[in-house]
Structure 1
Amino acid sequence: MSVLEQRRGVDVVFTDIDMPGSMDGLALAGRVAERWPRTRLVVTSGRAWLREAEALDDERFLPKPYRLPQLLEAIGAAA
């Protein structure tokens, strides 16, 4: 969040659902969507049951494991 607050013009945020600290990737995605609605999101996870992330507005879910071409495609589609 602090990086987004300090910088302007962030087009895409790439986050894992599992993050250290008090905020997970889904919470981050929600906050980004509220504060910076034009910023696109790509959310990833290695947990198969987290596929509900696919239902988020304006987010794209990228399941792990993925290869570089898949990551580039997801970011390109989001941007």
Structure 2
Amino acid sequence: MLESRSDIGVLFTDIEMPGSMNGFALAARVAERWPHIRLVITSGRCRPASRDVPDHGMFVPKPYLAEQLLSAFDRAKPV
């Protein structure tokens, strides 16, 4: 989807995902290939160390309020 669209500005992902890739790997891949996309990562099971979240990404723990999520979208900065 990211290859075919240029209007995506934020990636919101959970750390735990089905399949072989987790949210950290997805965020790192997106940050490398599409540095203009802001990254917001969530989880209800773990709290990552700041070094695990890409430099410009934000982590929002579950459960979260809509306001917290929207704030993270605003504060996440593209590279």
Tell whether the structures are fold-level matches, with TM greater than 0.5.
Answer: yes
Letter in structure 2 aligned against 1:42: V
The equivalent of 1:38 in structure 2 is 36
Unpaired segments of 5 or more residues in structure 2? none
More helix by share: 1
| Cα shift readout 1:40-63 (whole Å, capped 9, x = no counterpart) | 100000123x322x3321110001
Runs of at least 4 residues of structure 1 off by over 2 A? none
Identity %: 56
Q: What is the TM-score normalised by the length of structure 2?
A: 0.84
Aligned length: 75
Unpaired segments of 5 or more residues in structure 1? none
Supply the distance in 2 between the matched residues of 1:75 and 1:58 (Cα, whole angstroms). Answer: 11
Shift of residue 13 of structure 1? 0.5
Pairs within 5 Å for 1:37-76: 37-48=35-46, 50-52=47-49, 54-55=50-51, 56=53, 57-76=55-74
When the two chains are superposed, the root-mean-square deviation of aligned CA atoms in Å is 1.4
